[in-house]
Chain A
Amino acid sequence: MNGEKGEAAATCMRLLVTLGELFEADRMIPITSAHVSGVSYKNIGTAGLELLEELAGKGAKVQVKTTLNPTGMDFFKWREVGVKEEFAREQLRIVEAFRKMGLLEELTCIPYEAGNRPSAGEHVAWAESSALAYANSVLGARTNRESGISALASAAVGRTPYYGLHLDENRAPTLLVQAPPELEDPLEFSALGYFIGQNFGRAVPLIRGLKTVRPEGLKALGAGMAASGAVALYHVEGLTPEAHRFSEKPLGGWERLRVDRKDLEETLRKLSCGAEGGYDCVFLGCPHYSLRQLERLTSKVRGRRLRRRLWVCTSRKVYEEAERRGYVAAIEEAGGVVLRDTCMIVSPTEELGIDTVLTDSCKAAHYFPSLCRVKASLGTLDACVEAAVRR
């Protein structure tokens, strides 16, 4: 083994040992996959780029299947949407450094729909709050809330310190949530999640009262919770894989939260800037849209003419399939743009002449003002499409 490769691995190991000591882990355990955030040049800047190039230069290599979060631009259409040359150059360097270390060029916040889908009980090291909430809660895999760099270090070593949500006892609910009946639209689940996270940011919620929730609803629920709070795991009674383990427990020790429809309306109202109708752009795909969501969008815009910008983000894999099925063409013929590898929140939106955005995601509305200096409002997919059609 060459000495330099040893040096990068040693740095990664030192990082993991430090975290292990911080959280009083008694050992390291093997992981089966990793997902790394901190990929956009807008987020990590020159400091992050230099660190990644140094690690790549010293021969760091991932030992497990590892995917990447969205970057600051669509790798195929960045010129088309107005991303500047200088930004693109640095962004390409970042992804090149990751590629050298063996990470897969799946640049998405839904890696579980892009070939990185751990099974129940698998130990993994995932960053990206919405993705790791999905892995823990919906897939039943086990991960802590990793940062981009700790997930990368775990990938390079193939191990993670054994603490937190890797342990059975920390996966039990601490909060019982009674949800309002008959939620259906993903925006309602997004608001429910956001409301829970806002009130109990460190809880493991067990949610009652939801009958059927589609994957996009669960995705929105977890993304909301992880944006307003630090919730990394939730259970939905009758739906998620670990919920049954806890349903029979006495309820004495849990905190309780009853959510009414008016709490959700209030949540949406508070997150909206109120620039009714004056939106520069409609943004969909936070987290990245699934194939089914793109299909739904296609059915709503097919044959219509969008008069405002409508951008929808997804993963490369989903894009390819959507292209094959004609969804991309239908959306773009109507005047929309389907983007992959990116997300408006982590792209240089503030340089693209966008001041107000309408979106169907509480997570996006939460981050737009601080990360993009953009005002945001919330609406269902239907409302978003209608706003894009109106002049």
Chain B
Amino acid sequence: MRTLTLRGRKLVGGLAEGVALVTKQPISFFGGVKPETGLVVERGHELQGKSIRGKVLVFPHGKGSTVGSYTLYALAKQGAAPRAIVNLETEPIIAVGCALTGIPLVDRLNKDPLEVIDTGDYVKILEDGTVEVRKSLA
């Protein structure tokens, strides 16, 4: 089994692991993700109809209203939040949402996570921002 070790910038620290859900499109949590379920509802989004609950969510960065930080908080309260977030280059909406809820957040990896991580890979986030990727056989 192929394993990759990536190094990134830790913005909200913490240990987490889970199955990756990857999109090359930015995500607006406000209006784009249902806070009760973690279902992506943004029309035309690559992840529309998929759930981010319990996943290691990999996407470029957030977009849309800063109220998206509150949506991340609501997701966490409902137990519908992602286990961790990996961004290409994050921005304040995601950073604030993760800081409020303690969802581990890493960005600026030494390799493009959107290229080297695929949906279904098993991803482990370490306290120092190291990201271990066990490639899925599929």
Interface residue ranges, A against B (CB under 8 Å): 11, 14-15, 17-19, 21-22, 38, 43-48, 50-51, 147-150
Q: Known contacts A147-B66, A147-B92; is A47 also within 8 Å of B11 by CB?
A: no
Q: Which of B9, B66, B92, B95 contacts A38 (CB 8 A)?
A: B66
Contacts of A15 in B (CB 8 A): 96, 99-100
B96 touches A47 (CB 8 A): no
A38 touches B67 (CB 8 A): yes
A17 to B90 Cα, complex, angstroms: 15
Task: Tell me what chain A mostly uses at the interface: helix, strand, loop, or mixed.
Answer: helix
Contacts of B50 in A (CB 8 A): none
Contacts of A147 in B (CB 8 A): 66, 69, 92-93, 96
A22 touches B92 (CB 8 A): yes
B70 touches A47 (CB 8 A): yes
CB of B12 within 8 Å of the partner chain: yes
Contacts of B111 in A (CB 8 A): none
Interface residues of B in 30-77 (CB under 8 A from A): 35, 65-67, 69-71, 73-74, 77
Task: Tell me what chain B mostly uses at the interface: helix, strand, loop, or mixed.
Answer: helix
Q: Known contacts A22-B95, A150-B96; is A43 also within 8 Å of B77 by CB?
A: no
A51 touches B92 (CB 8 A): no
CB of B98 within 8 Å of the partner chain: yes
Contacts of B11 in A (CB 8 A): 18, 21-22
Find the residue from A15, A22, A46, A48 having the highest chain B CB count within 10 A.
A22
Contacts of A50 in B (CB 8 A): 73-74, 77
Interface size on B, residues (CB 8 A): 23
Interface residues of B in 1-38 (CB under 8 A from A): 9, 11-12, 35
Interface residues of B in 83-138 (CB under 8 A from A): 90-93, 95-96, 98-100, 105
Contacts of B91 in A (CB 8 A): 22
Least CB distance from B32 to A in Å reads 14
